A and B are shown apart, each in its own frame.
Chain A
């Protein structure tokens, strides 16, 4: 804290300010030491798993997390404009890489923390074909929700899978796009679409809608890898490192698999 006192006849106000500052200092001191929360910016699709992970991390004595969720690109823009985050959990690999390239994050603090899977989900009463996406009859699809392929990795994966199975041309005019995979899921949950291609993590969601769903064959799209970086500007590099290490440890891996993420492959 700066130790510059105000001069002049405004001593009364200055006193009050000092008392306030003293009270604030006492309050912060009353919290257990080293518990300045780690500020984590997370892509919305990973918010629910992160809340579970945060509890586990705190139980291990890792400290509290302060979580801000948003769209990956929006968070990236905030970070390049000086947002006060310590760790960035993106929905893709591109934006963390850009932050490294721009010197806002360090290359040796850059990991892949999750590998997402895509599921095809249908409204209740609509059966899914045994052959999966390739066997989907277009006339049974009134609306198909996907995330925007230009913005969201799950959207890109959805588009790749539709193209690989030769379904894109037939279904293109029935596709509605959410700005992110969460919004695509919302369209399904509110009954606005007959089918959706969304993240497998939603199959473990407490409020998931009814209806059949099946994992889309991973041969049909590039893996949806989600990367994390520690930001250069962080004031708690040790705590941030501890969190990344935790994310790669057995406890976190178990939680990730519970949420429908694939285990990390060794080839990275």
Chain B
């Protein structure tokens, strides 16, 4: 059996989670601590991928990232490559697709840390950046683990959106869920079973790990 799709999915999930942790941490911090009136609408925006069908995201991304699109056009002009049908395009799609799974656990973790430890640190002369990195982040480490594992597992199971943006290119955009779909379509049930069971077991173990760590509370909510 060809395991390339598994490798593609693992790469996609790793890169997506890395990007989301970098972009999602400040966003989650702002959602937890900020006082702006934009907080509630942004919170709702972040939760959108939880409730929208992935094909909606895929359809918009196909237009947005296409050579005529507002993102794909400039990208094509600068790099000479199209974003659709590329691994980069899948990463952008997956970042949006898994956004709430990373941002929400972080937001909740930062909320439960609260402002007091940081005030104390400030009084002792720590700069805000120091206080954030040495106090808030370690206190919120469970949130980081939850966010990382949930974002990774969710991206691994992604189908509808990358089906539309990827074009099923072997070794580039044919991810594991796409491969399973194609195996079922071509009646290769053995291969479909093997990949499906692998995904099932991995997802269960990942969730079991988080639940064990967090005492039965996983922070994704609409």
> A-side interface residues toward B, CB under 8 Å?
71-74, 76-77, 142-143, 145, 148, 150-151, 176-179, 183, 186-187, 190-192
Number of A-B contacts (CB under 8 A): 57
Contacting pair A192 B185 (CB below 8 A): no
Report yes or no: B168 in contact with A179, Cβ–Cβ below 8 A.
Answer: yes
Q: Hey, which chain A residues are within 8 Å of B181, CB to CB?
A: 179
* Chain A, interface SS category: mixed
Q: Which residues of B have CB within 8 Å of A176? A: 85, 167-169
**A71 partner residues in chain B, CB cutoff 8 A:** 185
- The reply to whether B168 and A192 contact each other, CB–CB distance below 8 Å, is no
A-B interface, 7 closest residue pairs, ranked by CB to CB distance from nearest: A176-B167, A73-B185, A191-B68, A192-B66, A177-B168, A151-B185, A176-B85
| Cα separation A257 to B17 with both chains bound (whole Å) | 51
Q: Is B50 an interface residue (CB 8 A)?
A: no
Contact: B85 with A73, CB < 8 Å? no
**A-B pairs with beta carbons under 8 Å apart, 17 shown:** A73-B184, A74-B184, A77-B187, A148-B168, A150-B182, A151-B185, A151-B186, A176-B167, A176-B168, A179-B168, A183-B163, A183-B164, A186-B62, A186-B164, A187-B84, A191-B67, A192-B67
Contact B82 A143 (CB under 8 A): yes
Interface residues on B, range: 20 to 34
Docked CA distance A74–B68 (Å)? 32
Is A177's CB under 8 angstroms from B169's CB?
Answer: yes
* Chain A CB within 8 A of B207 CB: no
**B10 on the A face (CB < 8 A):** no
Give every chain A residue within 8 A of B187 (Cβ-Cβ).
73, 76-77
The reply on B63 being an interface residue by CB < 8 A is yes
Kindly list 6 other residue pairs between chains A and B, CB separation below 8 angstroms, not including A151-B182, A176-B169, A183-B163.
Answer: A73-B184, A77-B184, A151-B186, A186-B164, A191-B67, A192-B67
CB proximity of A212 to chain B, nearest CB, Å? 18
Q: Show the binding face of B for A, using Cβ within 8 Å.
A: 62-63, 66-69, 82, 84-85, 163-164, 167-169, 181-182, 184-187
Task: Report whether B182 and A179 are in contact in the complex, using a CB–CB cutoff of 8 Å.
Answer: yes
Q: How far is the CA of A255 from the CA of B85 in the complex (A)?
A: 36
B181 (CB) vs chain A CBs: closest residue: A179
Nearest chain B CB to A122 CB, angstrom units: 14
Q: For residue A152, which residue of chain B has the nearest CB? A: B185
Which of chain A's residues has its CB closest to B192's CB? A77
Q: Are A74 and B185 in contact (CB under 8 A)?
A: yes
User: What CA separation (Å) do A133 and B181 show in the bound complex?
Assistant: 30
Determine which of A142, A151, A187 lies in contact with B167 in the assembled complex, contact meaning CB atoms within 8 Å: A187
Q: How far is the CA of A77 from the CA of B182 in the complex (A)?
A: 12
Closest Cβ–Cβ distance, residue A80 to chain B (whole Å): 9
- B182: A residues at CB distance < 8 A: 148, 150-151, 179
Is A178 in contact with B167, judged by CB distance below 8 angstroms?
yes
Report yes or no: A192 in contact with B62, Cβ–Cβ below 8 A.
yes
Nearest CB in chain A to that of B173: its residue: A176
Which chain B residues lie closer than 8 Å to A72 at the CB level? 185
Chain B residues, Cβ within 8 Å of A186? 62, 164
B167 touches A73 (CB 8 A): no
Within the complex, the shortest CB–CB distance from B160 to chain A, in Å, comes to 11
Set of chain B residues within 8 Å of A191, measured between Cβ atoms: 66-69
A76 to chain B: which residues have CB within 8 Å?
Answer: 187
Q: How far is the CB of B189 from chain A (nearest CB, A)?
A: 9
In the bound complex, residues from chain B placing their C-beta under 8 Å from that of A179 are 163, 168, 181-182, 185
What is the CB-to-nearest-CB distance from B198 to chain A, in angstroms, rounded to a whole number?
A: 20
Q: A73-B185, A74-B185, A179-B185 given as contacts; is B85 within 8 A of A143 (CB)?
A: yes
